[in-house]
Amino acid sequence: ETASARVRDVYTSSDARDAYRAAVELRIEYVVVGPPEREAYPSFERMLDQRPELFRRVFKNGSMTIYFIERDR
């Protein structure tokens, strides 16, 4: 499986814990959600917002949200 396919697994996961595990395994520190991600993965941002202990929102403006991947969870 390619790295880009594994990153896509983070965005397509229907479970926040699975998305978190995949992000940690890939050593991802931040996840960006902007217009392209919202269009392609409509429920992703809501899922992250529901688990702030895993995905801490560190930036938000009118079009983009950035989440920090918490460690040791």
pLDDT digits (tens, 9 = 90+) for 4-13: 888 999 999 9
Percent of the chain whose predicted confidence (pLDDT) is above 70: 97
* Whether pLDDT at 56 is above 90: yes
pTM of this prediction? 0.90
Closest CA to 48 of 38, 35, 37, 57: 57
* Whether pLDDT at 27 is above 80: yes
C-alpha span between 72 and 54 (Å, rounded): 9
Cβ-based neighbours of 9, under 8 Å, separated by 6 or more: 19, 22
Residue 71: the pLDDT is 87
Q: Which two tokens stand for residue 5?
A: 């396919």
